[in-house]
Amino acid sequence: MNIEAIYHHPYGAYAYVNGPDTLRVRLRTSARDSVQCFARWNDRCSSPDCQERVTPMTWLASDGLFHYWEAELHEPYRRLRYAFQIRDASEEVWYTEDGYSHTPSQGGWLSGFFNWPYLYQSQRIQVPGWVRDAVFYEIFPERFANGDSSNDHPAVKEWSGKPEWFNFWGGDLAGIQQHLSYLQSLGVNALWLTPIFASPSNHKYDITDYTKIDPYFGSEDSFRKLLEDCHARGMRVILDAVYNHCSTDFFAWQDVVANGETSRYSEWFHVLDMPPDWRKRNYRMFDHHGHMPKLNTYHPEVQRYLIDAAAKWTRMGVDGWRLDVAGEVDPSLWRAFRRELRAINPDIYIVGEVEHEAARWTLGDMFDGVQHYPLYRAALGYFAAGADTPTFGTGSSEPWDTTTFDRRLGQIRSWYPTPVLSALLAPLSTHDTPRFLTMCGGDTRKLRLAVTFLLTYCGTPMIYYGDEVGMVGGPDPDCRRPMLWDPAQQDQELLAYYRHVIALRHKHAALRTDGVWTCLAQNEPNIYAYLRGELPMGNTPPSSDVALIVLNNSPTSQQIDVPLQATGRSPHALQSCWPDGTLLHDDLAGQVYTVTHGKVTVRLAAYEGAIITSRIEQ
């Protein structure tokens, strides 16, 4: 046994409150070891000779180097001490905060057991229940639809063509409202609107007034009507909070420019020497953009202004906030932001823009989730990359094999507490990235396969406006072209496919859970198969409401034998869901399969996927 690989710490993703009397703990072991893992625990105030309770740990993920295991510890007294027991064919290891031992540890109050002094509900990671059922749609309002020409920018362009940095096309809130029936027919039930507040730009990420709707988009009344219409249709709406920086037209910055050190707002920013001068770069800013001075988000007056602005829109009925450049904002602001907005709306969804591993923000005191750019990069590598694929600075064009893809997904799952996995906002394209179809070299088969993955994997899927009709575009600003509304210009087959797969996600609860088990990760050709369903604890088998996803990520048709055995689960545990003779249905192609000798034989065309369930439609 490779004991140097065994690891746990009693905080973060490795230990977190998951119920009134429940602590969920995680353990890491070597991926080279075939082991059984057990958690042993009891009341930390029990006598040393008190018998510990024991529960087998459940496999969670593997990244090729390590396996990750979880267990739930239920303690009615809400105070715990716990240790781990790891067993292979030749030895048994006990693991506590004192390290490793080959003899059982004693559990006195000064023992080396890991401890959780008390389970407080304020420590619990609580994600709004509606999020796991959501399919998001990102709208860049200036380019979605022009519903009211009376509020157009003076330099508005005709609704066609490729954008440049400073173009205006006249998209507005009325345009969004006029197309809600289209969005409803697509199957999305949550909208993310990029910034809609007063700003001189087309993107509105340089805000001049956080309390007012941009007049080129509409009015406060038009936003209220849009919000009410969305809610009447069962659709949620989240807005974009740009708190890292503002516009140089923001009132406080204008005062600093005018009055220098004597300005009452001089500490609202990071000015290195007065007066601020963008040519000297003597103040901190977003990226290297002088027209976006960075706010001092540690300052209490700045926090008060920004939270009060968000509270206004939250009271109006906004369902959540996407937080721009969230990793560069002072964490104390995000803690206060969450506390105050949750007091207004306990179901508000808070998701941060962090492009990398972001567990530190998702431990229950700041964000529910983050934008899932690591998953986006993995999808690019597996589904889109190739010799003819442009990179646009997103990474290597070298394609990933299935083993690399599967291990990367396992690594990502190991970063976060399990409840957070369903709150990670997962895109294939955004307003900051090239269109995924462009990254696929225009091959809609690859896009369809990636969409099948996105809508069947754990996380909250998000569609960028126009991807569903085959829009293309390189890096910003090319990825922000006006929406294609002419049916003759839309890819109708692709649109129908999006509608079908979204409907299947809504239909099958298994596709909206946290549980993922790899059944097959094959290279040359690239075949990936995974089982989806509720993640059970201990030896409990998965629910019968499971779904098998099979992806043929190769340029030729394949006949695939998929074993109903998954990483970290015994064959018996999975085959008990679908015993031999079970009839299965591919909800994408309509094929019917039969489980034989613990396997399902699936036939797929090039770049085709299958969503297989045991529900045969009559």
Q: What is the DSSP letter of 88?
A: -
46 band by pLDDT with thresholds 50, 70 and 90: confident
Structural domain for 100, as ranges = 3-123
Within-domain flag for 203: yes
Among the options 63, 142, 353, 586, which is catalytic?
353
Asked whether the beta carbons of 24 and 70 are under 8 A apart, the reply is yes
Within-domain flag for 618: no
| pLDDT tens string 445-454 | 999 999 999 9
Do 258 and 358 lie in one domain? The reply is no
324 assigned to active site: yes
The CATH code of the domain that includes 33 is: 2.60.40.10
Do 353 and 263 lie in one domain? The reply is no
- Confidence at residue 65, expressed as pLDDT on a 0 to 100 scale: 96
pLDDT at 386 over 80: no
- Confidence at residue 614, expressed as pLDDT on a 0 to 100 scale: 87
Of 91-95, 382-386, 557-561, 608-612, the poorest mean pLDDT is in 382-386
Do 550 and 446 lie in one domain? The reply is no
Q: What is the DSSP letter of 131?
A: G
What's the total number of domains in the chain? 4
Question: What percentage of the chain carries pLDDT values higher than 90?
Answer: 85
- Confidence at residue 571, expressed as pLDDT on a 0 to 100 scale: 43
Cα gap 25→43, rounded to integer Å? 15
Cα gap 205→200, rounded to integer Å? 9
Nearest alpha carbon to residue 116 among 20, 38, 44: 44
Do 153 and 81 lie in one domain? The reply is no
104 band by pLDDT with thresholds 50, 70 and 90: confident
Do 279 and 213 lie in one domain? The reply is no
Say which residue the tokens 């990936």 belong to: 528
Do 486 and 567 lie in one domain? The reply is no
Within-domain flag for 433: yes
Cα gap 239→318, rounded to integer Å? 7
Do 291 and 307 lie in one domain? The reply is no
SS (H, E, C) 522-559: ECCCCEEEEEEECCCCCCCCCCCCCEEEEEECCCCCEE
pLDDT at 572 over 50: no
Mean pLDDT, rounded, of the chain: 93
The CA-CA-CA angle for residues 473, 479, 481, to 5°, reads 90
Nearest alpha carbon to residue 156 among 170, 175, 171, 142: 170
The CATH code of the domain that includes 260 is: 3.90.400.10
For 313, the token pair is 């829109």
The number of C-alpha atoms within 13 Å of 526 and in the hemisphere containing its C-beta is 22
Within-domain flag for 160: yes
- Confidence at residue 528, expressed as pLDDT on a 0 to 100 scale: 98
- Confidence at residue 468, expressed as pLDDT on a 0 to 100 scale: 99
The CATH code of the domain that includes 547 is: 2.60.40.1180
| pLDDT tens string 267-299 | 999 999 999 998 999 999 999 999 999 999 999
Range 71-93 burial, b when 16+ CB lie within 10 A, else e: bbbbbeebbbbbbbbbeeeeebb
Q: Supply the DSSP string of 310-368, one letter for each residue.
A: HHHHHHHT--EEEETTGGGS-HHHHHHHHHHHHHH-TT-EEEE--SS--GGG-SSSS-S
Cα gap 570→500, rounded to integer Å? 33
Do 156 and 204 lie in one domain? The reply is yes
Do 304 and 277 lie in one domain? The reply is no
Do 215 and 323 lie in one domain? The reply is yes
The CA-CA-CA angle for residues 552, 555, 557, to 5°, reads 60
Rg of the chain in Å (alpha carbons)? 26
> What contacts 319, CB < 8 A, 6 or more positions away?
190, 236, 237, 238, 345, 347, 348, 349
Do 96 and 214 lie in one domain? The reply is no
Which of 507, 533, 559 is the C-terminal boundary of a domain?
507
Say which residue the tokens 């109708």 belong to: 492
164 assigned to active site: no
Among the options 324, 406, 586, 608, which is catalytic?
324
Nearest alpha carbon to residue 495 among 159, 193, 143, 182: 182
Within-domain flag for 575: yes
Nearest alpha carbon to residue 357 among 420, 296, 301: 420
- Confidence at residue 177, expressed as pLDDT on a 0 to 100 scale: 98
